[in-house]
Amino acid sequence: MPGPQPTDDDVAFDLEAGLAAVRSLRSKIPADAHSARNLGTEREGNAVLIDADGTLVTIGYLITEATDIAIGGPDGEEVPAQVVGYDHRTGFGLVRTVEPLDLTPLPIASNVDDILVDDQIVIAASGGIPSSILGQVVDRREFAGSWEYLLNSAIFTAPLHPRWSGGALIDPRSGSLVGIGSLFVQDPGGNSSESQGNMFVPIDLLPPIYQELVDTGRAQKNAKPWLGMQTTEALGHLVVSGVHDGGPADKADVQVGDIIEEIETQSVESLPDMYRKIWAAGGAGADVSICVVRGSRQIDIVIRSGDRHDYLKVPRRH
C-alpha cells in the first residue's frame, strides 16, 4: 500500500469504526452471463455498509448478473448476501447480507459538492487502517466511459489505491461516505502528468434512486436508450471498439472499427457529446440514426435501441 495511512489525528471521527464499515466482497457469475466475457465469472472487491440491516453499496460491475455473493464479516467469516439492485446510469449496486453485520454503518454525505479539489480524503478498502490511504482530491470533472456511461462530476483522487473496486471515499471531517471506487486512471488530475490514481462515483447520485433499487431492483424512471456498443476516442475520431452480441447495434450491423460521424444527422465532437445526442432521441426503445465511416464508405444506420437491463441475466430476488 502506498502511504501515508490515516491516523486518528488526521480525522474528526472514530477512524477504526468508520473503516470497519468497508467490507470485502466476492461474487460468482454464471459462465453464460453476458458480462462474464469482459468481467469474468469470479470477482473481488469491496462494499460499504450503509444501514444497520446489512445493506451495502458497491460498484455495480462486481455484482452484475451475480448468483452468489459473500461479504466479509466482522469475525473474519464470510456472510452470504444477495443482490438488491443495480443501476446502469450511476454504476451503483446494492447488496444485503442474510443477517446483520453488527457494525456501525457509514453515513452518506449530505453535500458532495463540498468536496473540493486539493481536499484531503480517506481512500479505504476492507482491512482497516493498513488498507487505507490519506489521499487527495485532485479533480472534479466529467467522465465518459466507453460502455455508454457518463458522469457529470466524477471525483478523481491520488495516489493510486490498488484495491479500488467498490472502495470507500470518506470525508475526514465528518466520517461520511463521499464516493464509491470505480476505476484506475492515468493522469487523475487531467493535466497530462504521468501520475496514477482512481475515479470515484459521487455518492449523492444514490439517494434519488435508492428506494427504487430496494423496491424493484433497478431505477425505473427514464431508462435511457442503449445501443450495446463500446466507443473509444482515438486520434480525433470516435471508433466502435466493441459490439454487444445480440444487442441493438449488433442487430443493426454496426461493426468494430466503424468511425461514428453523426448521431441523428448531427456531427459529434466527443464521447460525452455522442451520449447526450443518443439519449436525446427518446427513451429506451427509440430509434437512433447514426452515420458511420467503414473503410471508404459512409453508411447510414438506424438502431432500434433497447433497455440495457433487459439484456442481463438478473438473479431472482428474494
- For the chain, which residues make up each domain, given as ranges? 1-221, 229-311
Residue (of 87, 94, 12) closest to 49 by Cα position: 94
| Residue 180: pLDDT over 70 | yes
The whole-number pLDDT of residue 3 equals 79
The whole-number pLDDT of residue 311 equals 85
What φ, ψ does residue 212 adopt, rounded to 5°? -65, -40
Give the pLDDT band of residue 279 (cuts 50, 70, 90).
very high
Q: Give me the percent of the chain exceeding a pLDDT of 90.
A: 89
What φ, ψ does residue 58 adopt, rounded to 5°? -145, 180
Give the pLDDT band of residue 297 (cuts 50, 70, 90).
very high
Give the pLDDT band of residue 210 (cuts 50, 70, 90).
very high
Domains 1-221 and 229-311 share a fold: no
What is the rounded distance in angstroms from the CA atom of residue 298 to the CA atom of residue 81?
Answer: 50
3-state secondary structure of 37: helix
| Residue 317: pLDDT over 60 | no
The whole-number pLDDT of residue 298 equals 97
The whole-number pLDDT of residue 221 equals 73
The CATH class, in words, for 229-311 is mainly beta
| Residue 233: pLDDT over 90 | yes
Question: What one-character DSSP code corresponds to residue 108?
Answer: B
Over residues 10-31, the mean pLDDT reads 97
Give the pLDDT band of residue 314 (cuts 50, 70, 90).
low
Give the pLDDT band of residue 315 (cuts 50, 70, 90).
low
- In CATH terms, the fold of domain 1-221 is Thrombin, subunit H (2.40.10)
State which H helix or E strand residue 216 sits in. Answer: helix 207-216
The whole-number pLDDT of residue 11 equals 98
Over residues 71-80, the mean pLDDT reads 94
Residue (of 234, 252, 138, 149) closest to 190 by Cα position: 138
Over residues 88-97, the mean pLDDT reads 96
Q: How far apart are the first and last CA of the chain?
A: 38
Chain mean pLDDT for the chain: 95
Over residues 136-163, the mean pLDDT reads 97
Give the pLDDT band of residue 21 (cuts 50, 70, 90).
very high
The whole-number pLDDT of residue 1 equals 79
| Residue 73: pLDDT over 60 | yes
pTM summary value:
0.94
Which residues lie closer than 8 Å to 65 by C-beta, 6 or more apart?
29, 30, 33, 34, 35, 36, 312, 313, 314, 315
The whole-number pLDDT of residue 289 equals 98
67: left (phi over 0), alpha (psi -120 to 50) or beta: alpha
Over residues 281-300, the mean pLDDT reads 96
Over residues 124-150, the mean pLDDT reads 97
Give the pLDDT band of residue 171 (cuts 50, 70, 90).
very high
The whole-number pLDDT of residue 222 equals 73
The whole-number pLDDT of residue 312 equals 83
Which of 24-33, 171-180, 199-208, 214-223 has the weakest average pLDDT?
Answer: 214-223
Over residues 181-191, the pLDDT tens digits come to 999 999 999 98
